[in-house]
Homo-oligomer: A and B are copies of this chain.
Amino acid sequence: MNFVIATNVLLNQLLIAQKALSTKTPAPYLQGIKLEALQNEIILITSNADISIKLHIKDDSLRVDIPGDVLIPGKYFVDIIRKLEGEQLELSVIDQNILRIIAGDSDVTLNLLNVDDYPELNFPLSDEPIKLDSKIMKAIIRQTTFATSTIENRPILTGVNIRVEDEKLSAIATDSFRLSQKNITIPKSTDHMNVVIPGRSLDELSKILEMNLDEILIHLNHKSILFEYGNVLFQSRLLEGNFPETSRLIPNEFPIVIKFNRDKLFVAIERASLLSSKEGSSSIVKFNLRSDNIVEITSNSPELGKVTEKVYPLEQVVGVPIKIAFSSKYFMDALKTFVSDEVYVKFTGEIRPFVIEGNSDPGLVQLILPVRTE
């Protein structure tokens, strides 16, 4: 194998490919990046327990003299390419299992892994993928994955449930204390879909979506889902099992609706959380809609002190006074997902789940379960 390529071209693609690199693995070959040099393109493949990435590099700077396949220790390869200076790199295989990299005044050899150990990975494309604006995909990920469970006793809750039916796509995540749901309208799709994607896979996908491309294609397979984004194929395993039926969790009617400036509400809760008693790892604050229509956010830690914050609703409140207590972290996490400057907090009762919505965030609902306090 022997080829030359512009250093920054290879580096930019390696930085994408490395997102599926295993760092700790019982299978050393998964610490490698498989590089295939074809006649006029390079293919990089990486894979770990959750995701696999395959990407094609075609570039004017690429000149392949001798095609070939190698398996390169991933971390070291990326570290070196990142630090090299010369504008152009020459990569070649010498002595069978040694990769030589020449750039500028640097001459580096890397001991290769055995490419025959690398599994054959499939990246099957379907005929009718779902098309999404990549910015919308990125927003969906940001608005839902934070609400997945991080504890593994119910593995299905560590994923985001994505359903496609007719012209509607729903993304739902819940850790059973809160729920995040985003619905969007898509062009009518022939494929139905009801899958659960690991939250961590989606977080990695989101990082790749930094590139400024318009469109992402979603290919659904039997046990995996494949996102096609420009020259990148990003495949994630799916979680097996039934995602809980959440449609009845979100109330339909809200006797109490309060409109807030999002940032003012956020900082009031943040300040109250500084001196609050902890329930588990979470700080509990109390929310009190008074009869004069001012909202008090309070916290009280017998050892430390008390915080009382007044927040003024933006409009005449609908409904009666209510007192409710909740995790400040869950509330702040939820508020951060909105682009809306103004949000509605909607209650059905003091011990019932409540929701947050924003008028510039159509289809987005954040639901939080209150906590009981004496």
Contacts and interface: CB of A to CB of B under 8 A. Distances in A.
A83 B308 contact: no
A80 B111 contact: no
Among A84, A267, A270, the one with the most B-chain Cβ atoms within 10 Å of its Cβ is A267
Interface string A309-346: 11110000000000000000000000000000000000
A268 B271 CA distance: 49
A79 interface: yes
Given A105-B310, A310-B105, A311-B105, A98 B271 contact: no
B110 A305 contact: yes
Interface in A273-315: 274-275, 303-312
Given A105-B268, A110-B304, A304-B110, A76 B309 contact: no
Contacts of A311: 105
Given A85-B267, A270-B83, A108 B76 contact: no
A309 B274 CA distance: 53
Nearest to A275: B76
B83 A274 contact: yes
A80 B309 contact: no
Interface in A14-56: none
A150 interface: no
B76 A305 contact: yes
A73 interface: yes
Contacts of A247: none
A76 B304 contact: yes
Interface in A90-118: 98-99, 105-111
B310 A109 contact: no
Contact of A76 (B99, B107, B274, B308): B274
Interface string A166-204: 000000000000000000000000000000000000000
Nearest to A105: B310
A305 B275 contact: no
Given A83-B267, A267-B83, A267-B85, A308 B275 contact: no
A271 B305 contact: no
Interface string A248-268: 000000000000000000011
Contact of A108 (B83, B107, B303, B305): B305
A326 to B, nearest CB: 19
Contacts of A307: 80, 106-108
7 nearest CB pairs, A to B? A105-B310, A110-B305, A107-B308, A109-B305, A109-B306, A83-B271, A108-B307
6 contacts: A80-B271, A83-B267, A84-B271, A108-B306, A109-B305, A111-B305
